[in-house]
Amino acid sequence: MSTLEYLHFLADAPRVDAFRRAIEAAVAPGQLVLDLGTGIGTYAMFAARAGCRVLAVEDDPVIVVARGLAADNGLADRITFLRGRSERLEPPERSDILVFEDFAPHLYHPETAEILLDVRARWLKPGATSIPRSIRLFAAPVCCPDTYRTLTPWPDDAAYGLEVGRLSSEVLNRTHAACWGPAVLLGEPAELARVEPLALDPFGLDRDLRWPLKKSGLLHGIGLWMDLELADGVLYSNAPSGGSSGWDQQLLPLVEPLRVEAGEEIVARIMTLGPSPRKPEWWSWRVTARSGKREGNTFRGTPLSSSRLQEARLDGRPRLTARGRHCRDALELMDGCRTLSEIARELLARYPELGGEAEVYKLVAGELDAARAEPARQPTEALAEVRSGK
Ligand SMILES: C[S@@+](CC[C@H](N)C(=O)[O-])C[C@H]1O[C@@H](n2cnc3c(N)ncnc32)[C@H](O)[C@@H]1O
């Protein structure tokens, strides 16, 4: 993410302030707080300022800025910054409280499940609590012509004399970010799910919902958003009716809008599907109104070739691509003895097809970042050395 995005997170005052109040209400001095996805360290600093010790975990290089900010605020001695993905790091000790906010936009996502299950198993003490304490996912039928127009700029699927229906179908079988006010709602919101981040079992959806419509209009899809209970009496929501929020809502679009009338009832079945009940990989939605039925499924919206699906079979026998071999060798050569320029030279000797020093160095730098090895020197110095053939 860019530093500007983190600045925008910080500027989202309703959210940041709600988390600040929740942290101040929920933590006690001396406790160990795990701020997972610390970004620029805002929540870690709130917890440290409240007298806690903090483990602040972040995968993004922005953690360097977070360290600096903690020092600038006189809180560096209470915050331990750990760079990397939490799933791959070794926790130095178990924490009393988890602060986590990087929920995928629609909550049910395999990565979210993986992160939270790992945190519960390895990072937290028994009986640990979380901020947020619980999350409620809401759904409502929406009429949102502006959002829908951005997904279907050619309603007749003819663009510049080309037939683009296949593209529209992919787009309309996906979930999309939206930024709505209450005017889009055709019916009252219904709770689709309630999740406690530390009790994820089962982590999937299969719900039938009904809405008596309060307004007539074109039904473009089902809108989703979240209400978070952060701590006692501290709530945060990105509901269309809730004023401004930095978090987008989500649209499960209909492949074709349906005309609906006030007073009629529409019915929807919303499901997540995946290889296991804990791995919600795809979303499926079926909507029935008087004027017709529509179905959407993010599996259809994912451009997977049949060969890619074959490879993903559990009894498949995957083989490294040329790129995979280059990356494997780059990682193996990072043995703590070779310099960056030696690694780059060796790779170029093994794989002349890599084409040139700049290409090799880009590969090494990428793997270095992925492997989190500490570079001994500045990358530009090493590149200069490779160039001069030293
Ligand atoms: C929405 S931002 C949070 C920003 C942060 N609270 C702040 O105020 O700056 C989510 C952050 O979580 C990080 N993140 C998500 N999952 C992570 C994981 N498993 N391990 C480490 N960092 C993670 C992302 O890199 C991203 O910086």
Note down pLDDT in tens along the chain; length 390 residues: 899 999 999 999 999 999 999 999 999 999 999 999 999 999 999 999 999 999 999 999 999 999 999 999 999 999 999 999 999 999 999 999 999 999 878 888 888 988 999 999 999 999 999 999 999 999 999 999 999 999 999 989 899 999 999 999 999 999 999 999 999 999 999 999 999 999 987 788 999 999 999 999 999 999 999 999 999 999 999 999 877 678 999 999 999 999 999 999 999 999 999 877 677 889 999 999 999 999 999 988 877 666 666 666 777 777 888 888 999 999 999 988 998 888 888 999 999 888 887 888 888 877 776 665 444 444 445 445 545 544
Closest CA to 238 of 182, 173, 183, 176: 182
Question: Which of 82, 102, 122 finishes a domain?
Answer: 102
**Residue with CA at minimum distance from ligand 1 atom 12:** 37
- Specify whether 226 is located in the same domain as 263: yes
Residue 83: CATH number of its domain: 3.40.50.150
- Specify whether 288 is located in the same domain as 335: no
- Specify whether 291 is located in the same domain as 328: no
- Specify whether 18 is located in the same domain as 167: no
Q: Does 19 sit in the ligand 1 pocket, CB within 6 Å?
A: no
Taking the centre of ligand 1 as the mean of its atom positions, its distance from the CA of residue 115, in whole angstroms, is: 11
Taking the centre of ligand 1 as the mean of its atom positions, its distance from the CA of residue 200, in whole angstroms, is: 20
Q: Does 58 sit in the ligand 1 pocket, CB within 6 Å?
A: yes
Q: Would you say residue 334 lies in a domain?
A: yes
- Specify whether 221 is located in the same domain as 144: yes
Mutate which of 19, 55, 58 to test ligand 1's pocket (most atoms within 8 Å of Cβ)? 58
Q: Does 46 sit in the ligand 1 pocket, CB within 6 Å?
A: no
Domain membership of residue 8 as a residue range: 3-102
Q: Does 141 sit in the ligand 1 pocket, CB within 6 Å?
A: no
- Specify whether 64 is located in the same domain as 149: no
Residue 175's contacts (CB-CB under 8 Å, 6 or more residues apart) are 105, 106, 224, 250, 251, 252, 283, 298
**Residue with CA at minimum distance from ligand 1 atom 7:** 39
Taking the centre of ligand 1 as the mean of its atom positions, its distance from the CA of residue 60, in whole angstroms, is: 8
- What's the domain count of the chain? 3
- Total length of the chain: 390
Taking the centre of ligand 1 as the mean of its atom positions, its distance from the CA of residue 370, in whole angstroms, is: 17
Which tokens hold the place of 59?
């995968």
- Specify whether 75 is located in the same domain as 177: no
**Residue with CA at minimum distance from ligand 1 atom 26:** 37
pLDDT in the model for residue 301: 80
Q: What is the CA radius of gyration of the chain?
A: 25
Q: Would you say residue 119 lies in a domain?
A: no
Q: Does 56 sit in the ligand 1 pocket, CB within 6 Å?
A: no
**Residue with CA at minimum distance from ligand 1 atom 20:** 85
Taking the centre of ligand 1 as the mean of its atom positions, its distance from the CA of residue 102, in whole angstroms, is: 6
Calculated CA dihedral for residues 47, 53, 55, 61, nearest 10 degrees = 70
Q: Would you say residue 124 lies in a domain?
A: no
Q: Does 81 sit in the ligand 1 pocket, CB within 6 Å?
A: no
pLDDT in the model for residue 375: 44
Q: Would you say residue 359 lies in a domain?
A: yes
Residue 81: HSE in the Cβ half-sphere, 13 Å Cα cutoff: 25
Q: Does 104 sit in the ligand 1 pocket, CB within 6 Å?
A: no
Global pTM?
0.83
Q: Would you say residue 54 lies in a domain?
A: yes
**Residue with CA at minimum distance from ligand 1 atom 27:** 39
Question: Which of 102, 121, 143 finishes a domain?
Answer: 102
Mutate which of 102, 103, 228 to test ligand 1's pocket (most atoms within 8 Å of Cβ)? 102
Taking the centre of ligand 1 as the mean of its atom positions, its distance from the CA of residue 211, in whole angstroms, is: 36
Q: Would you say residue 128 lies in a domain?
A: no
Q: What is the β-pairing status of strands 79-83 and 53-58?
A: parallel
Q: Does 282 sit in the ligand 1 pocket, CB within 6 Å?
A: no
Name residue 309's beta-bridge partners. Answer: none
- Specify whether 91 is located in the same domain as 228: no
- Specify whether 145 is located in the same domain as 246: yes
- Rounded Cα distance between 118 and 256, Å, is 40
Tell whether omega for the bond before 91 is within 30 degrees of 0, i.e. cis: no
- Specify whether 141 is located in the same domain as 71: no
Taking the centre of ligand 1 as the mean of its atom positions, its distance from the CA of residue 28, in whole angstroms, is: 23
Residue 217: CATH number of its domain: 2.70.160.11
Query: Does residue 43 contact residue 99 with C-beta atoms inside 8 Å?
Result: yes
Distance set, CA 93 to CA 53, 89, 108 (Å): 11, 12, 28
Q: Would you say residue 307 lies in a domain?
A: no
- Specify whether 153 is located in the same domain as 282: yes
Q: Would you say residue 7 lies in a domain?
A: yes
- Specify whether 171 is located in the same domain as 280: yes
Give the position, in ligand 1's atom list, of the atom nearest the Cα of 84. Answer: 21
